[in-house]
């Protein structure tokens, strides 16, 4: 497997898609931080202070990383099917599990590099142009650790999709669509969970005056239904991406464990099918 990783790293150094995606992540970090700094300057001119801390943009790497990885993985590893590289690896004595796990390992490393490429300019420019990070160091570390496991889970899913599909264009479309669908589902579940228990409104009294009333929100989730949606939000990688990006993970211990479970499940399923796949 070490030889496969060395060969993969050699290819990576010459990969145009890798360097383009890495540069894009770095540039996005610059652009997003600069945009936030411009907004901060406007608010400062209006007399407001401490409204644009670095927190607002720093943790968006959990959105940038998966999207770039969903493009990189099928395009980079998809050529192994088209040029017969996978068959050559197997012909030279490498086992299927070694080929699969080497690709997964390389994908995970690249995904974390994409995140780091975004974080670096945000941190440097944020120190200069934005307000200090408000999140406590312990909470920031918890999000960082949890998001790393999230990225591994995402890579496990994307690698399984890529290793089981032979067409780069189809795999790229499936991977990107999957990330967007998971994120959209996460947004829907999150909106349901944060719905308030009570809502306020106004009604006209007998004498014609407006009176404020508070009533039960019919969309508020309770009991087993609320528990179900919370589990679905935490289990869904898109739900975790959303929670980490807004710096409010609902269950900071459960979410990393679920990410590890997703990584194990997707890798086990993908490897099982790949070992039986006809590569001729």
Note down pLDDT in tens along the chain; length 280 residues.
888 888 889 999 999 999 999 999 999 999 999 999 998 888 787 777 767 889 889 999 999 999 999 999 999 988 877 777 777 787 888 888 899 999 999 999 999 999 999 999 999 999 999 988 889 999 999 999 999 999 999 999 999 999 888 788 899 999 999 999 999 999 999 999 998 888 876 565 556 556 667 788 888 898 999 999 999 999 999 999 999 999 999 999 999 999 999 999 999 999 998 888 777 6
Tell me how far apart the 2 most distant CA atoms of the chain are, in Å: 90
CA–CA separation, 52 and 40 (whole Å): 6
Alpha helices, H only, the chain: 2-13, 16-45, 55-58, 61-82, 85-91, 96-129, 137-164, 168-193, 223-235, 237-245, 254-276
User: Chain centroid to CA 226: how far?
Assistant: 24
Contact 117, 20 (CB under 8 A): no
Report residue 153 as tokens. 């889970």
CA–CA separation, 147 and 141 (whole Å): 10
How far CA 46 is from CA of 35, 43, 83, in Å, comes to 17, 5, 60
| Tokens 């989730």, located at residue | 221
Report residue 191 as tokens. 């909106």
| Tokens 């030279």, located at residue | 92
- H/E stretch holding 46: none
Contact 138, 249 (CB under 8 A): no
Query: Model pTM?
Result: 0.90
pLDDT at 208: 56
Residue count of the chain, please give it: 280
pLDDT at 87: 78
Q: Is 228 left (phi over 0), alpha (psi -120 to 50) or beta?
A: alpha
Contact 241, 183 (CB under 8 A): yes
């Amino acid at each position: 497997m070490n030889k496969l990783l060395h060969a993969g790293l050699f290819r990576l150094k010459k990969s145009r898609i890798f360097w383009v995606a890495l540069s894009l992540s770095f540039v996005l970090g610059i652009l997003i931080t600069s945009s936030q700094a411009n907004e901060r300057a406007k608010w400062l001119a209006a007399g407001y202070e401490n409204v644009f801390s670095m927190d607002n943009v720093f943790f968006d790497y959990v959105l940038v990383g998966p999207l770039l990885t969903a493009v990189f993985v099928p395009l980079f590893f998809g050529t192994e099917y088209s040029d017969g590289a996978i068959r050559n690896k197997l012909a030279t004595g490498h086992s299927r599990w070694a080929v699969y796990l080497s690709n997964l390992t390389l994908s995970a490393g690249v995904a974390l590099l994409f995140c780091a490429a975004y974080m670096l300019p945000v941190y440097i420019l944020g120190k200069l142009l934005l307000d200090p990070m408000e999140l406590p160091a312990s909470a920031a570390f918890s999000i960082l650790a949890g998001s790393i496991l999230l990225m591994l889970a995402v890579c496990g899913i994307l690698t399984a999709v890529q290793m089981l599909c032979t067409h780069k264009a189809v795999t790229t479309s499936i991977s990107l669509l999957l990330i967007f669908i998971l994120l959209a589902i996460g947004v829907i579940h999150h909106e349901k969970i944060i719905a308030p228990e009570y809502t306020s409104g106004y009604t006209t009294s007998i004498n014609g005056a407006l009176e404020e009333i508070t009533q039960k929100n019919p969309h508020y989730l309770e009991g087993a239904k609320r528990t179900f949606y919370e589990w679905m939000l935490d289990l869904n990688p898109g739900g975790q991406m959303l929670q980490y990006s807004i710096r409010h993970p609902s269950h900071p211990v459960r979410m990393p464990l679920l990410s590890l479970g997703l990584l194990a499940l997707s890798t086990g399923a993908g490897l099982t099918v790949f070992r039986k796949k006809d590569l001729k």
